[in-house]
Amino acid sequence: MIKSFKLPLLLLLFMFLLTGTNVFAGGFDSMKPEIFEKAWEGLAKFWNFTGFANAHYTNFIMIAVGLFFIFLAIRYDYEPLLLIPIGVGILIGNVPFLAGNKIGLYEEGSVLNYLYFGVRQGIYPPLIFLGIGAMTDFSSLISNPKLMILGAAAQVGIFATFWGAAILGFMPAESGAIAIIGGADGPTAIFLSSKLAPHLMGAIAIAAYSYMALVPVIQPPIMRLLVPKKERLIKMKPPRAVSKLEKILFPIIGLLLTTFISPSALPLLGMLFFGNLLKESGVTERLADTARNSLINIVTILLGVTVGASTQAVRMVTDPDTGELINKGFLSPDSIKIFALGAISFVVATAGGLIFARIMNLFLKGDNRINPLIGAAGVSAVPDSARVVQNEGLKCDPTNHLLMHAMAPNVSGVIGSAVAAGILLAFLM
């Protein structure tokens, strides 16, 4: 008996809340069919706003990709500082919504759009480089400068990918943006693609960061394939101690020299060397501390989330030339090609560094010889590739520690990929 009363009462209350109409004021006579119609309309409108109504199967594919990134980061500890923000960003970017309400990342005036401004205009990558500069010790590089060439050798991955992308039919600017994945440097990839091919930035950034996270999986088989065990056992002589003066001179000379050669890379290299001077000068410890901790953390959060959110599965835009609606979303054949090219470029870059290290050994004698494994660290995934070299070295000889030696080509790879980005920008802009 009580139950039978409860239901109509609840219904009336619900209608009162939904329509804002006081159905009790005029008695039950005022309950006209319009109220139900309005309620139904309201419900329908609400339904149209929900993600369920706007969902497309591609959204669920991308949500699965985002969840996979989060899983990789938490379960296997693969670059968690990047994969967690990017993974959550993918979830945020692929929750379906009704367009035109300033919600989405690509909608002018939305909060996400404001945050994305830093990516679109290439603001975040130089700030990341500032932090990297403030936390990088270039001592191993300064003590053995010839290892710097390995950082250049590994950039073959960038230029081979550029060539490959052109063969696959990408426009020159797009090929340049895709090529930078071979540099294994996320901020550089975002910086260059924001200038050369903004519509491909999501795919390029995700490919670059994914392969960076997979460095411990991709590199070891190539290292074992291209370097015979005898050469993997080479012990390198310990690096000499580097004076403070040399450490201070390095960022100043490096900044002037590299940016005079490649001025387009000024935002990246300028900030990298600036950050390093903050660290090495010894008198700006507070600034260096902020750059390598708080600042880089804040920018990493914003960069990761917005890059992740930029991977909307389907994004139909009007082609300015033909006026037709075309899909510029993440799930397109272009993205698959970009991922394939990215994988190849990583393999080529690693192989380039290893082979060049073996070639260098032909000209080096005695304890000046280098362990060719460190050539793999020429790809600039700092410090993961150096860590992989250390692990591979220890597998062959548990007393052979290559980490310090591998850091030299590793950090020179960062400089090399930034110079390469500047060169591509100069050629293709």
Partner 1 sequence: MIPAFVDNETWTITILGWLIVFAALIFLVGIFLVVPRLILWSTKRALRKKSKYSNREIKDEELILSGEINAAIALALYLYFNEIHDEESNIITIKEVRRRYSPWNSKLYGMNNVNFPR
Q: Which residues bind partner 1 (CB under 8 A)?
A: 141-143, 145-146, 148-149, 151-153, 155-156, 158-160, 162-163, 166-169, 172, 175-176, 237-241, 243, 245-246, 249-250, 253-254, 257-258, 261-262, 404, 412, 415-416, 419-420, 423-424, 427-428
Closer residue to partner 1, CB minimum distance, 129 or 162? 162
Least distance from partner 1 to the Cβ atom of residue 238, Å: 5
Q: How far is the CB of 142 from partner 1 (least distance, A)?
A: 6
Q: Are strands 325-327 and 316-318 parallel, antiparallel or unpaired?
A: antiparallel
CB of 176 to partner 1, least distance (A): 8
Cβ atoms of 315 and 59 closer than 8 Å: no
What six digits make up the tokens of 373?
A: 């494994």
Query: Using CA atoms in the order 69, 70, 72, 77, what is the torsion angle rounded to 10 degrees?
Result: 130
Measured CA distances, 109 to 112, 192, 261 (Å)? 8, 25, 39
Taking the least distance from each CB to partner 1, the nearer of 236 and 305 is 236
* Nearer of residues 72 and 236 to partner 1, judged by Cβ: 236
Given the complex with partner 1, which of 62 and 423 has the nearer CB atom? 423
Q: How far is CA 103 from the centre of its chain?
A: 23
Residue 35 or 249 with smaller CB distance to partner 1: 249
CB of 421 to partner 1, least distance (A): 10
> Measured from the CB of residue 276, what is the shortest distance to partner 1 in angstroms?
14
Least distance to partner 1 from the beta carbon of 366, Å?
Answer: 16
Query: What is the separation of C-alpha 163 from the centre of its chain, rounded to a whole number of angstroms?
Result: 22
Burial of 184 per CB tally in 10 Å (0-12, 13-18, 19+)? buried
Cβ-based nearer residue to partner 1, 129 or 250: 250
d(CA 349, CA 367): 26
| 207 closest CA partner among 311, 338, 377 | 338
